[in-house]
Amino acid sequence: MRVDLFDFDLPPERIALRPARPRDAARMLVVEGEAPFTDRHVFDLPGILRRGDVLVFNDTRVIPAQLEGRRGEARIGATLHKRVDLRRWQAFVRNAKRLKSGDRIAFPADVHALAEERHEDGSWTLFFEGDEPVEVLLERAGRMPLPPYIAGKRETDEADASDYQTMFAREKGAVAAPTAALHFTPELVERLDAAGIARETLTLHVGAGTFLPVKAEDTADHRMHAEWGRIDAETADRLNAARAAGGRLIAVGTTSLRLLESAADDDDIIRPFAGDTSIFITPGYRFKAIDGLMTNFHLPKSTLFMLVSALMGLEKMQAAYAHAIAGQYRFYSYGDSSLLLPA
């Protein structure tokens, strides 16, 4: 499909620079089958979902993966993207033309890395020197990697260390938050429990590639970035049992959805999964593992807007986004939510 079919005009003032407070006070647009759109709030969720439904969360934890350093007199910026091994990370590098294999980059707090290899997509493999775990080095030298559409408008500050982390964050390794779950609070989870709505977690370490623009003119020519994820056997069994009993699996975020769909077989059974996924979901895809999606509002011409269009239909999502823009919804990572329930 032509990528320009997924374009739309978004006024810059609709981009949220801070989250709603409290988190579950964010607005939520409900898009359900052929029903009219309804304007709700995230705290309404227990009354919208049904007993026996399951919310599936991503428990990845964002690491301070944004680094600013120098190679000689040249300023070098690095955003870690994907772990290679215990001391190596693949990174997108700013001012990469000043970098060559073997160069040593000095970051703050006496953290150093060697530029080992440049890849076809322009990223580099960085080898972090020393004996301390790389995560410890990042805590000293790194910053929270806010999305470029926020970082370009304001500085990262102390509030972002907690604002850009979900209450489910456990497994360190993401360089971008699974932002749909930012809206959840302990109080909301208690109310969901009381309503008989279950929850499960999986892990997908979100990479910086999630923010890369689609440069191809046709979706068939776009190469999707890979991210590492895991669903254990016990979780897969519980998800399959819940669905067999009539419950709906509602992915909280496109990261959860992509991993569930990667783990599902052609018989719509979710299997244990551990490894990379580069699944790219566009209209025409047959969903095998999920019955709904809770997600924020996405960028024009992004792979994520293509994904929600695959779930609900392109025309439906174009109308939903037009409704959201006209209704002053807040967009992107710190913005409002949508609940997508196909017929």
Give the per-residue pLDDT at 115. Answer: 96
Nearest CA among 340, 339, 337, 322 for reference residue 11: 322
For residue 48, what pLDDT is reported?
A: 98
Q: Rounded mean pLDDT of 184-193? A: 98
Q: What is the mean pLDDT of residues 158-187?
A: 95
Q: What is the mean pLDDT of the chain?
A: 95
Percent with pLDDT over 70 in the chain: 100
Split at pLDDT 50, 70, 90, the class of 208 is confident
pTM more than 0.75: yes
The bridge status of strand 171-174 relative to strand 124-128 is: unpaired
CA–CA distance from 214 to each of 2, 94, 237 (Å)? 11, 19, 36
Least confident range of 208-212, 304-308, 330-334: 208-212
pLDDT in tens, 257-279: 999 999 999 999 999 999 999 99
Q: CA-based angle 289:294:299, to the nearest 5?
A: 110
Is residue 226 over pLDDT 90? no
* Joined tokens for residue 259: 């991993």
Q: 204 with 166: CB under 8 angstroms?
A: no
Report the chain's terminal Cα–Cα distance, integer Å: 23
Instruction: Tell me the pLDDT band of 286, cut-offs 50, 70 and 90.
Output: very high
pLDDT at residue 97, rounded to an integer? 86
Rounded to 10°, the helix 314-326/303-312 angle is: 110
- Angle of CA points 200, 289, 336, to nearest 5°: 65
Looking at 3.40.190.10, 3.40.50.2300, 3.40.1780.10, 1.10.287.130, the CATH number of the domain 3-62+163-341 comes to 3.40.1780.10
pLDDT the model gives residue 151: 87
Which of the four pLDDT bands, split at 50, 70 and 90, describes residue 225?
A: confident
**Topology alike, domains 3-62+163-341 and 66-143:** no
Residue 183, pLDDT > 80, answer: yes
**Element housing 302 (H / E):** none
| Ranges of H-type helices in 205-302 | 233-244, 254-263
Q: Which residues contact 293 (CB under 8 A, 6 or more apart)?
A: 250, 251, 253, 254, 257, 308, 311, 339, 340
* Res 81: pLDDT: 87
CATH superfamily of this structure's domain 66-143: QueA-like (2.40.10.240)
- Which of the four pLDDT bands, split at 50, 70 and 90, describes residue 297? very high
- 297 burial class (0-12, 13-18, 19+ CB within 10 angstroms)? buried
Extents of the domains making up the chain = 3-62+163-341, 66-143
Given pLDDT bands bounded at 50, 70 and 90, which one contains residue 74? Answer: very high
Report the chain's C-alpha Rg in angstroms. Answer: 20
Are 101 and 115 a contacting pair, CB within 8 Å?
yes
pLDDT-above-90 percentage for the chain? 88
Taking a C-beta distance cutoff of 8 angstroms, is the pair 266, 288 a contact? yes
Task: Identify the weakest region by mean pLDDT among 19-23, 191-195, 202-206, 225-229.
Answer: 225-229
Average pLDDT over residues 123-140: 95
Q: Is the pLDDT of residue 210 over 80?
A: no
Q: Check whether 215 has a pLDDT greater than 80.
A: yes
Give residue 213's pLDDT: 81
Q: Write 116-120 long-range contacts (CB < 8 A, 24+).
A: 116/88, 119/90
Confidence grade of residue 209 (pLDDT, cut at 50, 70, 90)? confident
pLDDT for 212 beyond 90: no
